[in-house]
Structure 1
Amino acid sequence: MCGIVGYTGSKNAIPLLVEGLHRLEYRGYDSAGVAVAGPDGIGVHKTAGRVADLRRVIPDGLSGAAGIAHTRWATHGEPSDRNAHPHLDPAGRFAIVHNGVLENSDALRKRLTADGADLASDTDSEVLAHLIARSGASTLADRVRDALSQVEGTYGVIAMDAENPGELVAARRGSPIVLGLGEREMLIASDTAALVRFTEKVIYLEDDELATVTAEGYHTSTMNDPGGTRSTTRPPTALEAGSIDYELGEHPDFMFKEMTEQPDAVDRCLRGRLDRRFMSARLDGVGLTPREYQQIRRVKLLGCGSAYYAGQLGAELIEQLARIPADAEPASEFRYRNPVVDPETLYVAISQSGETLDTLAAVHELKRKGGRVIGLVNVVSSSIARECGSGLFLHAGPEISVAATKSFTNMGVALALLALELGRVRDLSMADGRRLVDGLLAVPSQLTGILGTEAAIAEIARKYAGAEHMFFVGRVRGWPVAREGAQKLKEISYVHAEAYQASELKHGPLALINPEMPTVVVLPDDDLLAKNLSTIEEIKARGGPVIAVTDADLPPGVVTGVIRVPRAERELAPITLSVALQLFAYHLAKTLGREIDRPRNLAKSVTVE
């Protein structure tokens, strides 16, 4: 969360910094600011609000060859001008931007205040500028080392010094930092989205690594190496994503754009991964032999938010196809319960960005305890991908909207591939393997079919846009679909929605059913169809409207609204059903006039606890 950008070179830094912030705004949009080095020192311009608001407060003609910038997702201190980054020390010599949470900031603020410091904001980040200024080290790099040695928590930080404005220092622990290499210029960012228009070569900092950057190049070293005498500098890697992927084009917003990209995204995820000779999957990135697959006795899937619900979907698939125990758990809870790590369990860390702090921390805990963990991520060079060293790349393409759409769908497809591979090395028959291979190959066209029914889904969404509350229910494979559908509705429309297993309604929640509360029933055409129809009758008997999301042929009058999807193989139906619910949430939110891509209080790529 939070977007940070830095530039040093021969160009005017302001346009590059502001453009970088614009591309990172999905990481936080409570406030924004820039600091640029000029002849009279460091000038800071910042404001509560969006990057568009920042553009209006930057003076015309402002220029400088080096600067830093920030777009904020608030943790400590309300969104306001005074809490916006960058922050300065009292003398105005040092400026910093920071992504992360300093857990001991209260103690540091009290200590600084007792020493006479005048803190200008309510943020945890500001203490870094004061600590850097109070360091007696001779270089900015060592001043940053001194400051960061006193903090506890996470950081991705850039610092600059008015007395040596062409040099920037960046460091990371838990929050990503990427260096971009140019021709006699260097850039720094918290995400490659800010860099794709300006460079094709990048360096990813590792945890507890620090970089000194000038227009001429960079030098990296570890945090515990005063003077940086033991270089960790390594060759740059190619930046694969093209800038076109970050452009809105003719679409009304990024969520709509990304939903329409799903057929192509699934096709990319499947390409080269289906083996028609053995009617199985070919997952070279996982790096396991058939014998090693057979030795797996359990699968544990870890993720947060939509990634967790995708993990639930995957766990159900793995149990069905491979007949081994599988379950999903929120990564945010996993490491805090002192988990028993089993060497015969395969752990799967799921994250769109590959930078989700809770999931990355779970990976660290697993590796520390000797667990076998693979990553399932959408950014091939991300922290989770590098830490795991093996896994499945989602190939969804950049996802800008805060609400996960194509990344969730590709998570489901990738987990279906893993389940198919696990099943075929065990007892899943060749005939079932063929059925599922054919079923996976059909998914892109099925998604195209769903997107073609957008107008009908929008009509149903508009009909129920006045509801203040909704239930989403499903059984077994429909349950994670219901959870993801409820989350989509909550996060972009602000309509209160709760998901329940359909069988649990009668154990309490049925008391809330009334004519003003619609229930969305996830209704795959499987062996539980009759039981799900019984649940619908229970809801209707109490006056509740029912919207069915289904690939089944329902008798007339069974429900008050139907969202139909093409029939898929029963194990893969959750993927197609989920896409229909994305469209439902999207059009309900549009009817209510919500800002789709940047829902209030949220941000993408959650790099703080």
Structure 2
Amino acid sequence: MCGIVGVVGSQNTKNILLNGLHKLEYRGYDSAGIMISHNEEMFVTKTPGRVAELEALVANKESAGTGIGHTRWATHGEPTENNAHPHLSKSGRFGLVHNGVIENFEWLKETYLSDITLSGDTDSEIVVEVVDYFSKQGLSTIDAFSKMLEEVKGSYALALIDTEDDSQIFLAKNKSPLLVGLADGYNLVGSDAMAMINETDRFVEIMDGEKIILSATNMLILNKDNEEVTRDFYVAEIDANDTEKGLYPHYMLKEIDEQPAVMRTLIQEYVTPTGESTIPVEIVSEMAESDRIYVVGCGTSWHAGLVGKKMLEELTQIPVEVHLASEMGYDMPILSKKPFFIFLTQSGETADSRQVLVKINEMKLPSLTITNVKGSTLSREATHTLLLHAGPEIAVASTKAYTSQISVMLFLAKALGEKLGQEKAKGLDIVHELGIVAAAMESLVDDKDHYSELSQSFLNETRNAFYIGRGLDYAVSLEGALKLKEISYIQAEGFAAGELKHGTIALIEKGTPVVALISNKEMGSHTRGNIKEVESRGAKSLVIALEGLEKETDAIVLPHVHELVTPLVTVIPLQLLAYYASLQRDLDVDKPRNLAKSVTVE
């Protein structure tokens, strides 16, 4: 992971690769590299760090030829030069870039590479060496590439160059995105169209299981049975006023897709390379002296606060209260002796929250604003600020700001818990767990067709819907229901699953959609019982379960993650269901009626 770009047949290959890698920076990465082969001469340059550093290293290198480039987010192995892509086989013949995860890399290594000492620790390097192994058995490059694909299990987008015939690039994909771009006299490949949009607006989709031989003037597509496939290109039409949106039809979809990259950005911002927290010491020290934490927010931010409460209490053992700003501004609760306030706000301009902050400041109480906008009003007026680092969020319905707020509170809870000597905080490997979350998010957002179909069959004709769950699943149910009602105008309500039978089940009738979340083993069985209760009264259920807790009839099975961070994963399907429900009603996804992005009035 995370980004691929390639060019064949251009005299300007180096610059095209570098420009493409810059376009892919939004995905999040910790190393970058390029390989160019031309007239039997070849170079590979790669480095930890940013694309700008790579650019300086290749300033005097050859520009023409066939090339591949990559931005990597470390999964197998640390972000070092050896682990960065492209990977060159020991023979020097083959170069390869790879996105995805090879599940059987250890078996491949033991079976085919027992006599080879690898340069790094990645599953990707094993792939290029397996191709080299088969080529040494007398197979042609395409046959060696195909044989490798037969042996590999997992997700991948692959681009391979054979330096003995660098007039073509060999491509394949399974689950990871990859597109071909058709230019005049040369062709390209990339993880998304934005990596190639400066060169062409003509693109060809690559389907799972297909192999492509790409040259400067031709593209051969082979299916799983090695049969040739013909496929027309499509033209990407981008309005000059919508360049920030890129090739996405809506900002909301773009922002949903950006969430894995935001997780990686937050790791880089809030954890040093040596694993130490970058949360300012003064924030942690001031919070450590408090006897109660008050989290204040509105709408989605309030929902994020409910999740943050669990994280803070679990890792710090300090009691936490979560309050609606619009209520607290007029009905201040009795405060503890040493309170500390956290304000959650995407824009930093939320009027209801500011009203509370003004009163807090009058009482000279310490506060922290967690916001996406540096220099915003709540940021300036609070004692401290932590940024979400989510990038601009344009769609009215918040998605990436929600998951960012939860993540920042997790970093905060861990730092505070460690300060207080809490063993749970010390034992939580936050970098590892959020890395797993990012990969899980990526797999979910790449499966959009599934959510479109579910929305069509489950929500297309309904006027109401219920979301249920227990514990953290209840908190996420509230957010899922809000997303649906915000942009599709379907009357949706989130409930603690066990509360349905205390009155609300009277609203269940034949065909009523009920979305149920199950991510906790202890409470999941009880939620299963609640699902049976509504189904027996005619409800149509859609169950979303964490891997290991699933049943055969469940509509969505989520990759397994640490129990404390399940909301970062369970919310993704709910965001996508809401998006497609709105889209299928031909509504304005990004600008729903009656709503504004920044609520600056009480």
Asked if TM exceeds 0.5, the reply is: yes
Q: Contact 1:280–1:420 at 8 Å: present in 2 too?
A: no
SS at match of 1:601: coil
**Distance in 2, Cα, partners of 1:430 & 1:476:** 19
**Distance in 2, Cα, partners of 1:245 & 1:593:** 19
* Other-structure match for 1:534: 529
* Other-structure match for 1:405: 399
**Post-superposition CA distance 1:493-520 (Å, at most 9, x none):** 0011011111101101111222221111
Q: Which has the higher contact order (CA 8 A, sep 6+)?
A: 1
SS at match of 1:568: coil
SS at match of 1:314: helix
Q: Contact 1:355–1:605 at 8 Å: present in 2 too?
A: yes
Identity of aligned residues (%): 31
**Distance in 1, Cα, partners of 2:243 & 2:438:** 22
Query: Structure 2 vs 1, CA of residues 343 and 441 (structure 1 numbering), >3 Å: closer, same or farther?
Result: farther
* Other-structure match for 1:606: 599
What pairs with 1:171-182 in structure 2 (closer than 5 Å)? none
Q: What is the aligned counterpart of 2:457 among 446, 463, 484?
A: 463
**Post-superposition CA distance 1:333-364 (Å, at most 9, x none):** 11201443445222101110000011111111
* Other-structure match for 2:254: 257
Q: What is the aligned counterpart of 1:267 among 260, 264, 277?
A: 264
**Post-superposition CA distance 1:520-565 (Å, at most 9, x none):** 1111143212212122222222221111122134565555xx1222
Q: What is the aligned counterpart of 2:448 among 445, 450, 454?
A: 454
Query: Structure 2 vs 1, CA of residues 245 and 594 (structure 1 numbering), >3 Å: closer, same or farther?
Result: closer
Query: Structure 2 vs 1, CA of residues 552 and 537 (structure 1 numbering), >3 Å: closer, same or farther?
Result: farther
Q: Contact 1:424–1:433 at 8 Å: present in 2 too?
A: no
Q: Contact 2:510–2:539 at 8 Å: present in 1 too?
A: yes
**Is 2:488 the partner of 1:493?**
yes
* Other-structure match for 1:484: 479
**Post-superposition CA distance 1:6-60 (Å, at most 9, x none):** xxxxxxxxxxxxxxxxxxxxxxxxxxxxxxxxxxxxxxxxxxxxxxxxxxxxxxx
**Which amino acid in structure 2 is aligned with residue 449 of structure 1?**
S
* Other-structure match for 1:373: 367
**Which amino acid in structure 1 is aligned with residue 529 of structure 2?**
S
Instruction: Report how many residues are paired.
Output: 362
Q: Contact 1:341–1:366 at 8 Å: present in 2 too?
A: no
**Distance in 1, Cα, partners of 2:292 & 2:242:** 37
Q: What is the aligned counterpart of 1:340 among 317, 334, 343?
A: 334
Q: Contact 1:589–1:596 at 8 Å: present in 2 too?
A: yes
Query: Structure 2 vs 1, CA of residues 269 and 246 (structure 1 numbering), >3 Å: closer, same or farther?
Result: farther
What pairs with 1:90-109 in structure 2 (closer than 5 Å)? none
**What's the C-alpha RMSD, in Å, of the aligned pairs?**
2.2
**Is 2:440 the partner of 1:440?**
no
**Distance in 1, Cα, partners of 2:310 & 2:243:** 34
Query: Structure 2 vs 1, CA of residues 395 and 344 (structure 1 numbering), >3 Å: closer, same or farther?
Result: same
**Which amino acid in structure 2 is aligned with residue 535 of structure 1?**
N
Query: Structure 2 vs 1, CA of residues 398 and 419 (structure 1 numbering), >3 Å: closer, same or farther?
Result: same
Q: TM-score, normalised by structure 1?
A: 0.57
Q: Contact 1:468–1:496 at 8 Å: present in 2 too?
A: yes
**Which amino acid in structure 1 is aligned with residue 339 of structure 2?**
T
What pairs with 1:77-88 in structure 2 (closer than 5 Å)? none
**Is 2:262 the partner of 1:288?**
no
**Post-superposition CA distance 1:226-275 (Å, at most 9, x none):** xxxxxxxxxxxxxxxxx999722211011111111111122222214136
* Other-structure match for 2:499: 504
* Other-structure match for 1:593: 586
Q: Which moved more, 1:454-463 or 1:266-275?
A: 266-275
Q: What is the aligned counterpart of 2:316 among 310, 319, 322?
A: 322
* Other-structure match for 1:545: 540
**Distance in 1, Cα, partners of 2:415 & 2:243:** 33
**Is 2:591 the partner of 1:578?**
no
Q: Which moved more, 1:588-597 or 1:341-350?
A: 341-350
**Which amino acid in structure 2 is aligned with residue 266 of structure 1?**
M
**Which amino acid in structure 2 is aligned with residue 574 of structure 1?**
P
Q: Contact 1:343–1:371 at 8 Å: present in 2 too?
A: no
SS at match of 1:287: helix
**Is 2:377 the partner of 1:383?**
yes
**Distance in 1, Cα, partners of 2:408 & 2:515:** 26
* Other-structure match for 1:247: 244
Query: Structure 2 vs 1, CA of residues 607 and 547 (structure 1 numbering), >3 Å: closer, same or farther?
Result: same
* Other-structure match for 1:147: none
